[in-house]
Amino acid sequence: MSRSQELFARAQAVLPGGVNSPVRAFRAVGGTPFFVARAEGARLTDVDGKTYLDYVCSWGPLILGHAHPAVLGAIQAAAANGWSYGAPCELEVQLAELVRGRMPSVELVRFVNSGTEATMAAVRLARAATKRDLLLKFEGCYHGHADGFLVKAGSGVATLGLPDSPGVPAPVAGLTATVPFNDTTAVEDLFRRRGPELAAVIVEPYMGNAGFIAPEPNFHATLRSLCDRHGALLIFDEVMTGFRVAAGGAQERLKIRADLTTLGKIIGGGMPVGAYGGRADLMRLIAPEGPVYQAGTLSGNPVAMAAGLVTLRETARPGFYETLERRTARLVAGIGDAARRRGVPTATGHAGSMWGLYFAPGPVRNFGQAKGADTALFARWHRAALARGVFLAPSAFEAGFVSSAHTDADIDFTIAQLDAALGEARAR
């Protein structure tokens, strides 16, 4: 029995499913999850000494790779000054100013401790500002695990094939309408039927919780104009895409101004940080300036702020995003070419260093089509890749990431190993 297997057995005696987040349990791909001993750069090393090239990157936060020296130094320096004050500190202001500088639509911002907190608060704010209750989300999008979002959600909910989720009261679920991503006709129809009830539309600008699905050219412009016409707010959930798909996030890439934006992952550099922000007239409704309540014991803590600050500053270096996108494009093209040479129908996509692949003829434009992909083949491919030292997200309904620690040689190695892994997966 390996150390990971021993630890997983122990973990299952004290943690539901042996994990602290469902997708980590490898339920969709089989086998025992490896337990990590340490991580550095683009690599994870497990407790049995095996090393993996990491394309999960902690599900997005680690755009610089693991244990980046500058981030480590910032965390150590901040911690040396104490690590939670329960009172304001300059680091919070610095990170807020940096976020606003990179995302001009975010005129004011509030830091919280996770993406879920950020989206929860943004929807509460939208409902307060519009005095309406109905929320529109898209099938397969995942906005965290707050009750109202667990309706046809992506990520772990899709991975485990769960019904939306028990424990969400029907009246709450009833306040969330869903339509397929990229389906402007369905959106227009919903606005026609229920526009006066709609507080907000919340959307992942690029879908990263059902694999990777890009928006079609007119999709977001249609959302923007429908929201304007009907008095609803547009919330861009950029927890994953923020500072990942471009220096200014998806809203810079798509040239769409959201009313509210939610952030997470990269802005904490691997420490627990979420944020919501946007139009000043909306954000000024948030307590203590306004009546909409939201709070958090550890919000804005100096260590997390320091990690986020240094991470974002590092991404501001000249050519940072261009290099990441070039490497990601090479990776995706390499895998796609290998699959085609093997006669395996494959649909690939990427935006910046966020990427995905479906074993399906494609194009995949919504969650319904994503669910038609060959997930059994994906599971066999995942296991064969892991044996070859490449760690992909353990679900066909998750996006992959490339960090600035991944070198061109790593990309070449990965393409070769994933090609061989596909050959093995097909043979079974």
List interacting residues with ligand KE4 (CB under 6 A). 21, 23, 59, 114-116, 119, 142-144, 155-156, 204, 208-209, 237, 239-240, 264, 274, 398
- Residue 400 beta carbon to ligand KE4: minimum distance, rounded to whole angstroms: 11
Is 237 labeled as catalytic in the residue annotation?
yes
Output 65 or 400, the one with its CB closest to ligand KE4: 400
Indicate which residue of 265, 276, 321, 410 is catalytic. Answer: 265
**In the bound complex, which residue of the shown chain has the CB atom lying closest to ligand KE4?**
115
- Residue 124 beta carbon to ligand KE4: minimum distance, rounded to whole angstroms: 15
Q: Residue 420: phi, psi to the nearest 5?
A: -60, -40
- Residue 342 beta carbon to ligand KE4: minimum distance, rounded to whole angstroms: 28
Output 158 or 385, the one with its CB closest to ligand KE4: 158
Output 234 or 415, the one with its CB closest to ligand KE4: 234
- Residue 397 beta carbon to ligand KE4: minimum distance, rounded to whole angstroms: 8
Output 121 or 227, the one with its CB closest to ligand KE4: 121
Distance CA 142, CA 114 (A): 13
Indicate which residue of 52, 55, 142, 276 is catalytic. Answer: 142
Cα dist from 256 to 103, 225, 260, whole Å: 11, 10, 12
Output 12 or 21, the one with its CB closest to ligand KE4: 21
- Residue 114 beta carbon to ligand KE4: minimum distance, rounded to whole angstroms: 4
- Residue 79 beta carbon to ligand KE4: minimum distance, rounded to whole angstroms: 22
Is 164 labeled as catalytic in the residue annotation?
no
Output 182 or 209, the one with its CB closest to ligand KE4: 209
- As annotated, the active-site residues are 142, 237, 265
